[in-house]
Amino acid sequence: MDPNVKRIANANTQMKKALNRLFRILGIVDGSLGKLPAKGSRRAGLIFCLAASLAHADNLSNFGEGFLEGNEEMKSNPGLFSMGGGEFSPEADPPETQYNPIARWSFQNVEDGIIFDDLQRLPAILHGNLLRQKEESKKGYLVFDGVRDHASIAEIPEPDPAEAGSSISVWVNLYAPDVGAQTIIAGNRHVAERNGWSLRLNDEGRFEFDLDAGEEKRIVSEVPARPGRWYHLTVTFQAGQTRLYVDGEPQGVGSPEGSELDVLTPLTVGGFKNGDELEEALYGVVGAVSFFEKALPGREVGRLADERFKPQEEKYEPILPTDWDPVRAGDEVLKRLVEVMPAPIKGAHDSEMVLVDRHAYVVSSVNDERPGHSWHWTFSYVALSIVNLETLEVEEVIPIARSEQEFDNVTLPVGQCWVPRIIRRDERTLRCYFTSQKRGVHGQIWYRDFDLEAREFDRKIHPAKLKTSLGVFPMRPEHFYSDAVAH
């Protein structure tokens, strides 16, 4: 646009504002310019003079002090600044607007488990392993473990969505976008009588903005997220319209009738809180988080996305390769499975093992009659399987104890033998525990030692003991209960 024309357009804008003020002063209810008096009337002249006195002097002085001198276009077409018919022309582009955030966390400095925003030192409280990430925060990002890491923000300045709107932007790098829904940042979730929202990755691995009001209130990105890549996400909200951008590209518009983004806080970064529980925990990295008191136009969103996030220079390798196929990987695992309890065993349950000198010693509750397990099957017994870790072959299966088995020092009662456990007692001995239980009676825990060099069990078994504040007793459930009642 010609500079002179642009200056007139700016003056035009100031005149409109001044005239609207005059209409209210003069009692003109309909303040539209279409109701102006006819050109040349005394009232029109009065309005023009008063408007000039109310408008910004620096703009109108350009017009009143010979602004048309040397401008042939304006001389030949004085209607460009005419009040005839109540029109100002031409329509000018609005002046450039500054879109500065009202709050921004760049994650640069951690102070006693708190990161303050760059503008007003508003606190973001860190939880989980984030408390130990001082080095990462100096680089401008935080790494979330997908389990319990999150940051909570109690307060930010609240924009007025009915006027200029509001916007949210965040940089994120997802380590595993295919493991299920993950929330990047959420506001006001599960707060009574207030609408919540979340910017998240859905179960299909696509970015989504959700206004907590059903599927019709969601905007979903077109392209699925890839692991190990930085994304710039922006959501704008104004007058009931929500827009989602990914890397500066618009992904959709929502008009959630009856829903308002009325509040932003409390905020959670890295998941959302449902009571005391963290749900949809994020597994990845979050960079700068910014909030704006205006609905950013598309060109401004594109500019922010083009700035590029500085910490992406810190290269992150995803845990899984981008071409990883879970089905193929699962098949490879199944090929290497070892059947540690081979025939004649038909059912196995509840296993544990120790590793000693390239061998795995696995104890299990098993039976030779049917698949599965049941607590009242008296034909269930416990056994030890020895597996060579180099050949992945079962070298030997040795029974440990079964119903009514006779040992040198005791004979077991009728009942199931189960709940096997194993520890390495010393360099040459493994100790195997099991429960002998008659139906309807509390079981007793026994142990039997295994000689690693001789590969044979001791011919005796021994009852495990339980020491409580009440004394030393056979290790049975009722003694745990008695001690708990006493306290």
Q: To 5 degrees, how large is the angle CA 458–CA 462–CA 467?
A: 145
- Per residue in 154-197, pLDDT tens? 877 766 555 667 889 999 999 988 888 999 998 865 554 455 78
Pairwise pLDDT comparison (217 vs 178), residue with the higher score:
178
Start-end of H helices in 278-369 = 298-306, 326-335
Q: Is the pLDDT of residue 222 over 70?
A: yes
DSSP one-letter string for 159-215: P-TTTT-EEEEEEEEES-TTSS-EEEEEESTT-TTS--EEEEE-TTS-EEEE-SS-G
Pairwise pLDDT comparison (197 vs 20), residue with the higher score:
197
Once rounded to an integer, what is the mean pLDDT over residues 293-317?
A: 73
The pLDDT confidence band at residue 138, using thresholds 50, 70 and 90, is low
Q: Is the pTM value of this prediction over 0.85?
A: no
Residue pair 129/135 in contact by the 8 Å Cβ criterion: no
Q: Is the bond preceding 344 in cis, omega lying within 30 degrees of 0? A: yes
Between strands 123-127 and 150-153, the pairing is: antiparallel
pLDDT > 70 fraction of the chain, expressed in percent and rounded: 69
Q: Is the pLDDT of residue 327 over 60?
A: yes
Q: Is the pLDDT of residue 44 over 60?
A: no
Distance CA 253, CA 231 (A): 19
Task: Please give the pLDDT value at position 354.
Answer: 97
Q: Is the pLDDT of residue 281 over 70?
A: yes
Distance CA 78, CA 84 (A): 11
Closest CA to 167 of 281, 284, 258, 298: 298
The overall longest dimension of the chain from CA atoms, in Å, is 126
